[in-house]
């Protein structure tokens, strides 16, 4: 919630809430609310609804299809989506590749790719992580060798989220072995349906298929699909990671979990015959989570208040990434604790397709354990939280 919203902000929030009530499909909302895995069609259906309204890319400038919102309006939109149970769009094109192209791309690249990202004709994924690289992204080994008017790509990328939903990928590739490792990396755009691309699923600990390993065997990519200068991909990667670490820019989803947690503790869960909310130890944990949320939100609002065309987020994005992911994990832990034995078993088929018979316990309980397991990853991706601490120490403290 914005600290001191203007009359325009209040009116905009009312407009957003009305839109979400009217246009968010009930079946998609039910899947989100009950932790049922979203299908590609669910996400793309919501994408098309937002595209018709002109609200797909809040962070893009008007000249490339953005809605022209203020920072406050972007924050309100993201928060209300989370509170309403709207699904996240596949963000790699909208929140990552799009801003990179707007900032670094050629005019031809912008005119070709940006409209297709907006419409959903192209769905993107991110080719960064590799086996044996860990958090040392600059040690990547996937190569791109120049062959006339083509780049020929060989290597493999790991943990490629939503590659099975996507038709495009932006890649960090090594185009030079002679410079120091950060300077030999380039940023390349490729087709996932090109000859030589193989996508193999990785099922995570929650049992769901979200990530993949993608193999590139002599994949031929047009030379004009290189973004920026050869060997300058590391600068682009750092720019992109700032957008990724901020995620959606609000805590709407976490606020929804906290609100649901309060309801569980007050009505659905008991301790020695009394509502769990009356148990002092759990009530203290719940209060701590609420204070943590307010602290992260204050940090986020202060950081966003300093953003302008001349100044983008620096180490604030790293700080928000650390605290935001820790908060998300705390909330999923508390939900597990509140549900007790109802969180212990879960039925994978109900997690993917929903129940076709009365659920075991509350319907939403089936998604509690998978969510707890799934969100162990948030303190690792986009650079582990340990790496974030190192970045902050170097950039802000000079250590």
Which of the residues 79, 244, 297, 316 is marked catalytic? 244
**Rounded mean pLDDT, 365-372:** 89
Residue 1 has pLDDT above 70, yes or no: no
d(CA 10, CA 73): 10
Which residues, including other chains, have CB under 8 Å from residue 327's CB and lie 6 or more apart?
251, 254, 289, 292, 293, 296
**Rounded mean pLDDT, 89-112:** 96
| pLDDT-above-90 percentage for the chain | 62
Residues of the chain with CATH 1.20.140.10: 251-395
d(CA 208, CA 213): 15
What pTM did the predictor assign? 0.89
Which has the closest alpha carbon to 377: 310, 305, 325, 319? Answer: 325
CATH of region 122-231: 2.40.110.10
Residues of the chain with CATH 2.40.110.10: 122-231
244 is catalytic: yes
Alpha carbon dihedral 181, 182, 185, 187, in 10-degree steps, equals 160
Task: Give pLDDT tens digits for 14-72.
Answer: 999 999 999 999 999 999 998 899 999 999 999 999 999 999 999 999 999 999 999 88
Give the model's pLDDT for residue 348. 83
Q: Which residue has the tokens 């490792």?
A: 181
Which fold is adopted by the domain 251-395?
A: Butyryl-CoA Dehydrogenase, subunit A; domain 3 (1.20.140)
């Amino acid at each position: 919630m914005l600290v001191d919203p203007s009359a325009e902000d209040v009116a905009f929030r009312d407009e957003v809430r009305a839109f979400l009530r009217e246009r968010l499909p009930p079946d998609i909302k039910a899947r989100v609310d009950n932790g049922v895995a979203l299908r590609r069609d669910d996400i793309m259906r919501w994408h098309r609804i937002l595209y018709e309204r002109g609200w797909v890319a809040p962070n893009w400038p008007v000249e490339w299809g953005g809605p022209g919102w203020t920072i406050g309006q972007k924050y309100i939109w993201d928060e209300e989506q989370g509170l309403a149970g709207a699904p996240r769009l596949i963000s790699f094109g909208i929140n990552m590749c799009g801003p990179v192209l707007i900032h670094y791309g050629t005019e031809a690249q912008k005119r070709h790719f940006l409209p297709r990202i907006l419409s959903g004709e192209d769905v993107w994924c991110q080719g960064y992580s590799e086996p044996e690289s860990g958090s040392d992204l600059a040690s990547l080994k996937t190569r791109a060798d120049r062959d006339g008017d083509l780049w020929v790509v060989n290597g493999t990328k790991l943990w490629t989220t939503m590659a099975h939903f996507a038709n495009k990928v932006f890649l960090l590739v090594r185009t030079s072995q002679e410079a120091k490792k950060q300077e030999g990396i380039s940023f390349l755009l490729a087709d996932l349906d090109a000859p030589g691309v193989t996508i193999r699923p990785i099922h995570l600990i929650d049992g769901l298929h979200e990530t993949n390993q993608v193999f590139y065997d002599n994949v031929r990519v047009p030379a004009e699909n290189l973004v920026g200068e050869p060997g300058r991909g590391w600068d682009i990667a750092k720019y992109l990671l700032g957008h990724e670490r901020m995620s959606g820019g609000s805590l709407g989803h976490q606020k929804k979990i906290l609100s649901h947690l309060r309801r569980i503790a007050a009505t659905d869960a008991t301790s020695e015959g009394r509502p769990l909310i009356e148990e002092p130890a759990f009530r203290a944990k719940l209060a701590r989570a609420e204070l943590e949320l307010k602290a992260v939100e204050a940090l986020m609002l202060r950081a966003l208040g300093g953003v302008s065309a001349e100044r983008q987020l620096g180490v604030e994005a790293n700080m928000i990434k650390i605290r935001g992911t820790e908060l998300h994990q705390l909330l999923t832990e508390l939900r597990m604790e509140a549900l007790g034995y109802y969180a212990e078993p879960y039925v994978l088929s109900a997690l993917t397709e929903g129940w076709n018979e009365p659920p075991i316990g509350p319907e939403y309980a089936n998604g509690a354990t998978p969510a707890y397991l799934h969100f162990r990853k948030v303190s690792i991706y986009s650079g582990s939280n340990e790496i974030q601490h190192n970045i902050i120490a170097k950039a802000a403290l000079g250590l």
